[in-house]
Amino acid sequence: MLKVVFSVFAAHFPLRVVFQLNHHLIQFSIRLWTIQNPIFSRIRGKSHEYIVREIKRTANKIDNWCGIMKES
- Give me the helices (H) in 1-72, please: 2-12, 15-18, 23-36, 48-71
What pLDDT, in 10s, does the model give residues 2-51? 555 555 555 555 555 555 555 556 666 666 665 555 555 555 666 667 77
Predicted TM-score (pTM) of this structure: 0.34
What local confidence, expressed as pLDDT, does residue 1 receive?
47
What local confidence, expressed as pLDDT, does residue 25 receive?
67
